[in-house]
Amino acid sequence: MLEVNDVSVRFGGHLALDRASISAPAGQITGLIGPNGAGKTTLFNAITGLLTPTEGTVVIDGHDVTGQSLHRRARHGVARTFQQLELFTMLTVRENIRVAADIRSRWARDRGDMGALTEDIIDRVGLRDVADERVTAIPTGQGRLVELGRVLACKPRVLLLDEPASGQDDRETERFGELLVEVASSGAAVLLVEHDMSLVMDVCDTVHVLDLGRMLASGTPAEVQANPLVLDAYLGTDSGGAA
Amino acid sequence: MDKFLVFTIVGLTLSGVYAIVASGLVLTYATTGIFNFAHGAIGMFVAFAYWQFRFGWGWPAPIALLLALGVLAPAIGLVIDRVIMRGLRGTGEATRLVVSISLMVGLIALANIIWEPSRSRPMSTFFQGRRIKVFVTTITYHQAITILVALVVAAGLRWLLYRTRSGVSMRANVDDGTLTLLNGARPSRIAGLSWAVGGFLAGVGGVLIAPTLTLESGSLSLLIINAYAAAIFGRLRSIPLTFVGAIVIGLTEGYLAGYLPGDNRYLAAFRPAAAVLILFVALLVVPNPRLRDRNHIREFFPAPTVPGMALMAGGVIIAAVVMVTTLDTVSVTSYGPVFSLGIVALSLVPLVGFAGQISLAQLSFAGIGALAVAHHGIGGSPLGLVLAAVFAAVAGMLVALPVMRLSGIYLALATAAFAVALDRWLFNLPDFDVGPVHVSVFRSGSLNVDPITVLGLDFDSPESLMVLSAVAFAAVAVLIAGLRWSRFGRQLVAMRDSEAACATFGLNLIWPRVGVFALSAGIAGVGGGLYAMQLGSVAPARFDLLTGLPVFIVVVVGGTGLVGSGLFAGSMLFGVLPFTSGFGPVFAKINSTFSGLAGIGLGRNPSGAVPVFARAVRPLRNDVLVLGSMGAAMAVVYALRLGDAFANWTFAVLIGLVAVVAYVAAVVRARAESSGDAVVADLHDLDWAGITAPWTPQQLARVESGLDLDSVRQASDA
C-alpha cells in the first residue's frame, strides 16, 4: 500500500534521512521506532509532502507521488497525525472532525451525510462527552483522539500516526491500541511512530528501527526486541555508547 | 552619454538613501524578528526635527545634525524598543505587524500635531548649489555626501557585525536566540542596540532625502516603501543583498526619470510606482516560505450567535433611522461613512479574522467599487453597485493569485504595494483599452457619482443613503455570520490554525484563499460604492493606502474575527472620533492619534476590544425584562424627541442615562441570581489550592461538600 524507496533528506550539511526504505502493507500495523532525532518525523514529512526528498521515491497504492503536493498525496488516501498537536483551536471537537470530513467529501465527490459520519466517528473514538468543547479545553490525551478522528474522517488507505499515545494515560493507550487494530482490520495500512514500546509490541505486525537517518533493523516485534543493534542504538554499549 | 551619466548619479544617490534606510530595517528585523513598518516614519520624524533645528530655529548644521541623528534618532529607536516592542515577545506575526503599522500612523499624527501640515517648510540641500566636476558632468555636494554616507554605512555595518562583540552577539541572536541567552548574552541589550542603530539609519535616510522632496509626513513615511523593496531583495536577512536591491531600485528610478517620455500620460505616473512594482515582483520571487503549521494564536473569536446577530442587525438599522430623524443634514452627511466604510471594515473580518490572511489594500478595492458606481451607476442604475462588487472581487482575485504563497509581512507588503501602485499610477491613468474592453478610471481628476434608485425608490438624500448603507451593513454582517457558520467558514478558520493539517486532508489551499480574498474585496467594493454615492464626487486620494490603514488597525483592535469589530471600526473612526473632534482643536489632535495608540496597545489584548465590551454587557443581553424595558424607555424618549419636546443634546443624554440605568439594573439582578451558585463558583478557586498555598480546612470542607462525600460515606456504610 505504502512503499518508500531509498529516500534521503538533507538539511544543509546534515543528512537527516539516508536512503531509508520502508513499506506498510494494507490491513497491517507497521511500527517505526528509533531514538530521538533518528529521522522518524522527517520520514513522515517526506511521505506526506511537507518536505521534498533529495532522492528516492514515495509510492502510495501504486502511484509514484514523490513530486506531488501535499493535497494531491492526501487524495491518494494518505493521512497523518502530528507529533505536536495540530488542532484547530478556534473550533470544537465536533467541528474539528467535521472540517476533515467536509474537505474529503468535496474532493472525493462523496455526497454522503458528513454530519452522520462525524457523529459516528465521535462515538468510535470515544469523544461524545466532550464533542461540544473547544479543543483547547480538553486534555492532550483526548486531543490525540481528535486528531485520530479527523484522520478517520478522511477515510484513508494509509494512516501515518506520529506518537499518538503521548499524553495519554494507560487506559487511554489501551483503548487507542484497540482502535488501531480495528482500523487496520478494515483494510487500511497503519504506520505507527511511537515511544510507548508496550503499545508498539502489542499492536504491530512488523517493526522497523530507524537510527541516525538509516534503517537499522526490521522484523516482528519479538525479533526487533532481541536485535543487538537495536539494543545498542537505544541503550548504548558498555564500550561507551550514549544512552 | 552626458545624460546617461547624470541620471546614473541621480539613481545612485537614490540608491544610497534606500540602502541606508533598508539596512536599518534589515538589522532590526534580523535581530528582533519585528518588521518595522514605522521605519520610514522614524526617518520622516527625524527629518522634521532636523528641519526645526536647522531652519526653524536657525542652528548651525553640525549641531542640528548631532542632535537629530546622534541623539533623537537612536533615542526614538530605544524608546520604541523599551516601551512598545519588548511587550510583543511571544505574540503572533499579525499582532506585531499591526503594532508597527499603528506606530507609523501614530508618528505621522504626532508629526502633524507638532508641525502644522498646511505650512510649507523648504529645506535646502547640504552645501546648497555647490558642485564637484566628475568626468564630463558635475555632481552636487549633497549627492556626493549621500553616496559617501551609504558607503560608510556599508563599511560601518560590516565592522559592527563582524568586528565587535555586540555585533557578534547580534548575529548569534539571529541564528538562535535561546542559545545566545544561554551563552551569557543579553537579548534585551542586543535588541536595544539594534533599535538604536535602526533608528539612526532611518534618520540619516530621512535627512538625506527630505531636501529633494516636499517635507510632508505621509509621503515621506511612504517613500520608504521603496526601501522595503531593497530589504526584500536581501530577504530581510542579508545586508549586502539589500545594498544590491537598493542599487537596482535607485538606478531604475533614475533612468525612468531621465528616459521615460514625460509627455506620455500613461507613463508619466509610472515612475513613482516603479519601486512598488519592483517590490511586488521581488516578493513573488523570494523563496517559498514553508506552509504555516500550528500557529501560536493567542486570539480566540467565538462564532456569532443567531440572537447576537439579530440584535446587531436590528440595532444598526434602528440607529440609522434614529440618526436621520434627529440629526440635521450636515451631521448626517459627516457621519455617513459610519456604515458605508463600516462595510469596508467588515470586509476584513472573513479575510483577516477567519482566514488569517492580511490585506492592506481594502480601501483600494473600495476605490474600485467607487469607480464602478461612478461609471455604471449613471442615472441611479443599481447595476453600478452590482458591478462594484464584481469588479472589486475580480481585482481581489487578481491580487490574490500571485501572492497566494505569501503570508504574514510578505502578504502585507504585497497588498500595500498593490494599494500604492493603484493610487500612484493606475487610478491616475487616462482611459485605455484592454483588447475589446474599454477601461475608464478617474480620468486624472474627480468623478461625479449619481445616487442609486432601487425599485423606484430614489436614494438621493444623505438621510436615505445613510439608511440604505445601514441596511447594506446589516445584510453584509448577516452574510459574514452565515459564512462563519458554513462549511467554507469552518475551513477558513481551520486554515488559520494549521494550513499544514488542512493540506494533509486533501485541501488545495489556493482556492479557499483566492475565494476569501475575492469575497472580501467584493464586500469592500460594495462599501466603496455606497461611500462614493454619499460623497457625490470621488477622487483617488479618498482611497489611498494611508487613509485605509486606520480602518485595518481599528478592525484588528476591535477583534478581527468578530462581526462586531466592523461596527466598532465604523462607529469609532467615522462616528465617535468626528463627534468628539467637534469639541475643539485639542480633541481633534488627540483623536488623530487614536488608531495609532489603540493599535500599539494591541499586544496586551490580542483578542481585541469587542469581546471585552461583549462580556461587560452580557448581563444586560441575557436579561429580557430589563432589555425590553430599556427598549421601551428609549422608544418613549425618541418619540418625545420627534415631538420636539427637547433638543438633540438632551436626547443623547437621556438615551445614555436609560442605557446606564438598564445596565446597572441588569448587573444587580444578575448578581442576586448568581449568589445561589456561590458554592459552585468558589470551587474554581480550588484550582490553585495546595500549589500556591497549603490546603486549608475550609477548602477541604468545600471539596467534600462539592463531591458530596457524606452521601458516598453513608452509602458505603450502608
B505 touches chain A (CB under 8 A): yes
User: Could you please report the per-residue DSSP string of A81-147?
Assistant: --SS----TTSBHHHHHHHHHHHHHHHTT--S-HHHHHHHHHHHHT-GGGTTSBGGGS-HHHHHHHH
Assign A242 a pLDDT band (cuts: 50, 70, 90): very low
- Assess whether pLDDT exceeds 70 at residue B630: yes
Which of helix, strand or coil describes residue B225?
helix
Assign B119 a pLDDT band (cuts: 50, 70, 90): confident
**Pairing between strand A214-219 and B131-134?**
unpaired
Cell of A4: 518508500
Chain B residues with CB under 8 Å of A97 CB are none
CB contact under 8 A, A88 and B494: yes
CB contact under 8 A, A99 and B502: yes
Order of strands across the sheet that contains A55-60? A14-24, A2-11, A55-60, A63-64
User: Are B350 and B362 spatial neighbours (Cβ–Cβ below 8 Å)?
Assistant: no
* % of residues, chain B, pLDDT over 90: 41
User: Are B115 and B589 spatial neighbours (Cβ–Cβ below 8 Å)?
Assistant: no
B444's enclosing H/E stretch is none
Assign A240 a pLDDT band (cuts: 50, 70, 90): very low
What is the reported pLDDT for A23? 92
Does B665 or A1 have the greater pLDDT score?
B665
B293 touches chain A (CB under 8 A): yes
- Assess whether pLDDT exceeds 50 at residue B681: no
Tens-digit pLDDT profile for residues B306-320:
988 998 999 999 999
- Mark which residues 546-565 of B lie under 8 Å from A by CB: 561
Cell of A144: 490525540
What is the reported pLDDT for B87? 74
What is the reported pLDDT for B177? 67
What is the reported pLDDT for B695? 79
Mean pLDDT of chain A: 89
Of B487, B491, B508, the CB nearest to A71: B508
CB contact under 8 A, B293 and A102: no
Q: What are phi and psi of B439, to 5 degrees?
A: -110, 125
Closest CA to B652 of B634, B626, B629: B634
Chain B residues with CB under 8 Å of A90 CB are 297, 300-301, 493, 496-497, 561
Closest CA to B472 of B398, B409, B524: B524
What average pLDDT does this structure show over A110-133?
Answer: 94
Alpha carbon distance B213, B191 (integer Å): 32
CB contact under 8 A, B297 and A89: yes
Angle at B390 between CA B453 and CA B449, to 5 degrees: 40
Over its C-alpha atoms, chain B yields an Rg (Å, rounded) of 29
A212 touches chain B (CB under 8 A): no
User: Are B450 and B531 spatial neighbours (Cβ–Cβ below 8 Å)?
Assistant: no
B177 touches chain A (CB under 8 A): no
User: Are A218 and A206 spatial neighbours (Cβ–Cβ below 8 Å)?
Assistant: yes
Mean pLDDT of chain B: 86
Of A75, A80, A90, the CB nearest to B497: A90
Alpha carbon distance B545, B148 (integer Å): 33
Does B477 or B37 have the greater pLDDT score?
B477
- Mark which residues 213-242 of A lie under 8 Å from B by CB: none
A50 touches chain B (CB under 8 A): yes
- Mark which residues 182-201 of A lie under 8 Å from B by CB: none
Over its C-alpha atoms, chain A yields an Rg (Å, rounded) of 18
B298 touches chain A (CB under 8 A): no
Q: Give the minimum alpha-carbon distance from A240 to chain B in angstroms, rounded to a whole number.
A: 27
Alpha carbon distance A197, B71 (integer Å): 63
A103 touches chain B (CB under 8 A): yes
Q: Give the minimum alpha-carbon distance from A237 to chain B in angstroms, rounded to a whole number.
A: 30
Return the minimum-mean-pLDDT range out of A4-8, B37-41, B273-277, B463-467.
B273-277
Q: If you search the block for the grid coordinates 425618541, which residue do you land on? A: B638
The tally of CA atoms less than 13 A away on the side-chain side of residue B230 is 33
What is the reported pLDDT for A231? 80
Of B297, B490, B501, the CB nearest to A98: B490
CB contact under 8 A, A86 and B501: yes
H helix intervals, B93-140: 93-114
Q: If you search the block for the grid coordinates 496597545, which residue do you land on? A: B601
User: Are A149 and A95 spatial neighbours (Cβ–Cβ below 8 Å)?
Assistant: no
* % of residues, chain B, pLDDT over 70: 93
Chain A residues with CB under 8 Å of B297 CB are 89-90
User: Are B323 and B579 spatial neighbours (Cβ–Cβ below 8 Å)?
Assistant: no
* Torsional sign, CA B410, B412, B415, B416: negative
What residues have CB less than 8 Å from B675, skipping those under 6 apart?
none
What residues have CB less than 8 Å from B528, skipping those under 6 apart?
B340, B344, B363, B365, B366, B367, B368, B369, B370, B373, B388, B392, B543
What is the reported pLDDT for A243? 37
Does A140 or A13 have the greater pLDDT score?
A140
Chain A residues with CB under 8 Å of B509 CB are 71
What residues have CB less than 8 Å from B261, skipping those under 6 apart?
B267
Does B559 or A28 have the greater pLDDT score?
A28
User: Are B360 and B415 spatial neighbours (Cβ–Cβ below 8 Å)?
Assistant: yes
CB contact under 8 A, B291 and A84: no
Chain A residues with CB under 8 Å of B501 CB are 82, 86, 88, 150
What is the reported pLDDT for B589? 84
Which of helix, strand or coil describes residue A173?
helix
What is the reported pLDDT for A229? 84
Cell of B502: 488542512
Assign B30 a pLDDT band (cuts: 50, 70, 90): confident
What residues have CB less than 8 Å from B491, skipping those under 6 apart?
A99, A102, A103, B502, B507, B512
- Assess whether pLDDT exceeds 90 at residue B239: no
A131 touches chain B (CB under 8 A): no
What average pLDDT does this structure show over A230-240?
Answer: 66
Closest CA to B414 of B282, B509, B250, B551: B282
Of B301, B504, B506, the CB nearest to A90: B301
Return the minimum-mean-pLDDT range out of B184-188, B441-445, B625-629, B688-692.
B688-692
What average pLDDT does this structure show over A189-204?
Answer: 91
Return the minimum-mean-pLDDT range out of A220-234, B554-568, B672-686.
B672-686
B507 touches chain A (CB under 8 A): yes
CA dist B233 to B10, B244, B249, B285, B413, Å? 21, 8, 10, 9, 13
Does A234 or B684 have the greater pLDDT score?
A234
Return the minimum-mean-pLDDT range out of A139-148, B456-465, B583-592, B639-648.
B583-592
Count of other CB atoms within 10 angstroms of residue A85:
18
- Assess whether pLDDT exceeds 90 at residue B559: no
Tens-digit pLDDT profile for residues B687-715:
667 776 777 777 777 777 777 777 777 77
- Assess whether pLDDT exceeds 70 at residue B648: yes
- Enter the ipTM: 0.90
For A107, which residue in chain B has the nearest alpha carbon? B506
- Assess whether pLDDT exceeds 70 at residue A239: no
Tens-digit pLDDT profile for residues A71-110:
999 999 999 999 888 999 889 999 999 999 999 999 999 9
Chain B residues with CB under 8 Å of A132 CB are none
Of A71, A87, A90, the CB nearest to B503: A71
Alpha carbon distance B712, B703 (integer Å): 13
Alpha carbon distance B43, B77 (integer Å): 11
What average pLDDT does this structure show over B178-196?
Answer: 81
User: Are A46 and A18 spatial neighbours (Cβ–Cβ below 8 Å)?
Assistant: no
What average pLDDT does this structure show over B256-284?
Answer: 78
Q: Give the minimum alpha-carbon distance from B675 to chain A in angstroms, rounded to a whole number.
A: 26
What is the reported pLDDT for B258? 83
Region of B186 please: left (phi>0), alpha (psi -120 to 50) or beta. Answer: beta
Assign B586 a pLDDT band (cuts: 50, 70, 90): confident
For B291, which residue in chain A has the nearest alpha carbon? A50
What is the reported pLDDT for B234? 82
Tens-digit pLDDT profile for residues A165-178:
888 888 889 889 99
What is the reported pLDDT for B684? 53
pTM for the whole structure? 0.86
Does B237 or B72 have the greater pLDDT score?
B72
For A74, which residue in chain B has the nearest alpha carbon? B506
Closest CA to A160 of A93, A98, A73, A94: A73
What is the reported pLDDT for B89? 67
Tens-digit pLDDT profile for residues B78-91:
999 988 887 776 66
Q: If you search the block for the grid coordinates 533608528, which residue do you land on? A: B199
For A149, which residue in chain B has the nearest alpha carbon? B505
Chain B residues with CB under 8 Å of A134 CB are 300
CB contact under 8 A, A89 and B300: yes
What average pLDDT does this structure show over B180-202?
Answer: 85
B509 touches chain A (CB under 8 A): yes
CA dist B111 to B44, B211, B506, B541, Å? 9, 17, 51, 20
A70 touches chain B (CB under 8 A): yes
CA dist A36 to A163, A165, A233, Å? 12, 16, 11
